[in-house]
Amino acid sequence: MEDTLLTTKNICKDFGPVRVLDDINFNLNPGEVNALIGENGAGKSTLVKIISGYHKPTEGKLFLEGEKLSLDNIAEGEKKGIVMIHQELNLAPDLTVEENIFLGQEKKKGYLLDEKYMYDECQKILKELNCDITPKERIKDLSISNQQMVEIAKAVRKEAKVIIMDEPTSSLTKEEVKILFKLINKLKGENVGIIFISHKLDEVQEIADKVTILRDGKQIKTGAAKEFTENQMANLMVGRELEDMYPEKPVSENKKVVLEAKNISVPGFVDSASFKLYENEILGFAGLVGAGRTELLEAVVGLRERTSGQIYKRDQEIDASNYIKSIDNNIAYLSEDRKGKTLLTSKNLPFNLTLLSLEKYSDPFIDKNRELKALKEAEEKFEIQIPNYRLRADKLSGGNQQKLGVAKLMEAEPEIIIFDEPTRGIDVGTKQQMYSFIKELVTKKNKSCIVISSELQEIIGLCTRVIVMCDGKITGSLTGEQIKEEIIMQYATGLKGAV
């Protein structure tokens, strides 16, 4: 106990009548990484929000370096040296990288802002993080992974004693994760304590010293990370033995083309890419970050402007100049950007669920009862954890927001569904459900699916065919035995295929 940096004693938290945290005794030493793991909705984000001063506990106490803490808000937490990187990115989209990093802590020289200092300081941190961005770029022009890196840069600058990282890696590339881990090790060397939340148990195993497992708001187990295998962690999280992650792959002999994209170009991202999607297929898109997968498929559904190319649905050319038209053509897209593009997080749950399918619920005014009924059905079908039907979408846990996004998409009754990073932020048990759900769509519901994923294992385990992209071009289309890591990587890095 002597050298404990941060302790929580019997922390409980109620939201209305619901107890989401029950008697949590969490402990963090200086220079230690304590990983907080648990299913979606287990209470991880709520606990760290209490530690950082965002929420007040209903019961229990917090101690920092042995002293009792009573925080009224995040600013107070930061003053004490507790800094949090939020799960849902918290940047001002219209401001620049530099403005965001210094927001609320602008450096002045006399009455004026010390522009040079801030610019140089910002450059320095970005360089340390190996980030390929400049201080003057606007947040809204950055990729999600670069936005995440800006969040990290912002936190690191604050010289904290405790840094909380709530799923920092869910939208980072493997390379970026390596850089982050290097940074974490450096911070450990400076005696900073780190609370690390992630659903990627291999990462937890790699970076954590200690693991704290939550289930349904209760602390199930705490111990040295090396005492647990990944499987043991997963089983403790869900409270049962998990079976095989991936369902058996459907066999699709069907060669009817449902969707065809010809010569699609998006300047700077995609260079004359053509592909076909067959009926009842789960078609994977693999590639390194920056290969142009998201941009290509956004262009296919009209979420991004293309400068050339045609799109055909069952041999008929369709107008995909905007997303509404694609929805009318029964093509739906689940964006990788949950907060920015999938949900209107400041609106309530029924509003979000029915947004793409309003005509089903209006006559001509929205029938609130039917909307609510649909929400209850979605709750059951997708096992969304909803504490209260009138909540704003941002009050759901991250993983449950993701499930709501999928439910919303399915409300539009699409025939072709494009999932971009469908399991981002989703716990191991729920991932398994998501895979079975996608398989059922193609085997039982006569749908065709496209899955973009940066997790190669997911592409390999789930997809019946895999298209690989490198540098804006399609370099390969793999089936059967060819769907293997080594082969995909050869095409993804341009060693193989027409580049």
Ligand X SMILES: Nc1ncnc2c1ncn2[C@@H]1O[C@H](COP(=O)(O)OP(=O)(O)OP(=O)(O)O)[C@@H](O)[C@H]1O
Report yes or no: 352 and 418 within 8 Å, Cβ to Cβ: no
**CB of residue 47 vs ligand X: minimum separation in angstroms?**
7
Q: What is the 3-state secondary structure (H, E, C) of 302-323?
A: CCCCCCEEEEEECCEEECCCCH
User: Using CB under 6 A, which residues numbered 60 to 99 contact ligand X?
Assistant: 87
Q: Name every residue whose Cβ is closer than 8 Å to that of residue 83 and which is 6 or more positions away in sequence.
A: 52, 77, 155, 158, 160, 162, 163, 164
Tell me which of 24, 26, 28, 41 binds ligand X, using CB under 6 A: 41
User: Using CB under 5 A, which residues numbered 470 to 499 contact Mg ion?
Assistant: none
Q: What Å distances lie between residue 313 and 278, 343, 417, CA to CA? A: 11, 27, 13
What's the length of the chain? Answer: 499
The answer to whether 45 contacts Mg ion (rule: CB under 5 A) is: yes
Tell me which of 30, 31, 247, 387 binds ligand X, using CB under 6 A: 387
CB atoms within 10 A of CB 307: 10
User: Using CB under 6 A, which residues numbered 417 to 456 contact ligand X?
Assistant: 427
Tell me which of 398, 414, 429, 472 binds Mg ion, using CB under 5 A: 398
**Residue count, binding to Mg ion (CB under 5 A):** 4
The answer to whether 218 contacts ligand X (rule: CB under 6 A) is: no
Structure tokens at 27: 């402990």
Residue number with CB closer to ligand X (81 or 399):
399
**CB of residue 99 vs ligand X: minimum separation in angstroms?**
28
Tell me which of 11, 42, 74, 467 binds ligand X, using CB under 6 A: 42
Report yes or no: 234 and 201 within 8 Å, Cβ to Cβ: yes
- CA gap 378, 395 in Å, rounded: 17
User: Using CB under 5 A, which residues numbered 83 to 102 contact Mg ion?
Assistant: 87
Tell me which of 135, 193, 350, 398 binds ligand X, using CB under 6 A: 398
Report yes or no: 172 and 145 within 8 Å, Cβ to Cβ: yes
| The entry of ligand X, Mg ion, none that residue 193 binds, CB within 5 to 8 Å by partner kind | none
Nearest residue (beta carbon) to ligand X? 399
The answer to whether 43 contacts ligand X (rule: CB under 6 A) is: yes
| The entry of ligand X, Mg ion, none that residue 453 binds, CB within 5 to 8 Å by partner kind | none
The answer to whether 309 contacts Mg ion (rule: CB under 5 A) is: no
Q: Name every residue whose Cβ is closer than 8 Å to that of residue 405 and which is 6 or more positions away in sequence.
A: 334, 335, 338, 342, 343
| The entry of ligand X, Mg ion, none that residue 385 binds, CB within 5 to 8 Å by partner kind | ligand X
Considering only 4-12, 390-398, 405-413, 434-442, which stretch makes contact with ligand X by CB under 6 A? 390-398
User: Using CB under 6 A, which residues numbered 245 to 284 contact ligand X?
Assistant: none
**Residue count, binding to ligand X (CB under 6 A):** 21
Considering only 100-108, 394-402, 440-448, 486-494, which stretch makes contact with ligand X by CB under 6 A? 394-402
Structure tokens at 431: 């991932």
Residue number with CB closer to ligand X (24 or 327):
24
Tell me which of 6, 44, 196, 350 binds ligand X, using CB under 6 A: 44
Nearest residue (beta carbon) to Mg ion? 45
Residue number with CB closer to Mg ion (387 or 497):
387
The answer to whether 448 contacts Mg ion (rule: CB under 5 A) is: no
| The entry of ligand X, Mg ion, none that residue 20 binds, CB within 5 to 8 Å by partner kind | ligand X
Residue number with CB closer to ligand X (238 or 478):
238
- CA gap 177, 193 in Å, rounded: 18
Tell me which of 153, 396, 418, 463 binds ligand X, using CB under 6 A: 396
Considering only 14-22, 40-48, 212-220, 224-232, which stretch makes contact with Mg ion by CB under 5 A? 40-48
User: Using CB under 6 A, which residues numbered 8 to 27 contact ligand X?
Assistant: 15, 20
Structure tokens at 443: 């085997």
**CB of residue 399 vs Mg ion: minimum separation in angstroms?**
7
| The entry of ligand X, Mg ion, none that residue 414 binds, CB within 5 to 8 Å by partner kind | none
- CA gap 397, 374 in Å, rounded: 20
Structure tokens at 466: 């895999």
Q: Name every residue whose Cβ is closer than 8 Å to that of residue 326 and which is 6 or more positions away in sequence.
A: 300, 301, 302, 318, 320, 332, 333
Using CA atoms in the order 254, 257, 263, 266, what is the torsion angle rounded to 10 degrees? Answer: -90
Q: Which positions from 337 to 376 touch ligand X by CB under 6 A, shown as an x/- string?
A: ----------------------------------------
**CB of residue 71 vs ligand X: minimum separation in angstroms?**
17
| The entry of ligand X, Mg ion, none that residue 301 binds, CB within 5 to 8 Å by partner kind | none
Contacting residues toward Mg ion, per CB under 5 A: 45, 87, 397-398
Q: Where along the sequence are the contacts to ligand X (CB under 6 A)?
A: 15, 20, 38, 40-46, 87, 385, 387, 391, 395-400, 427
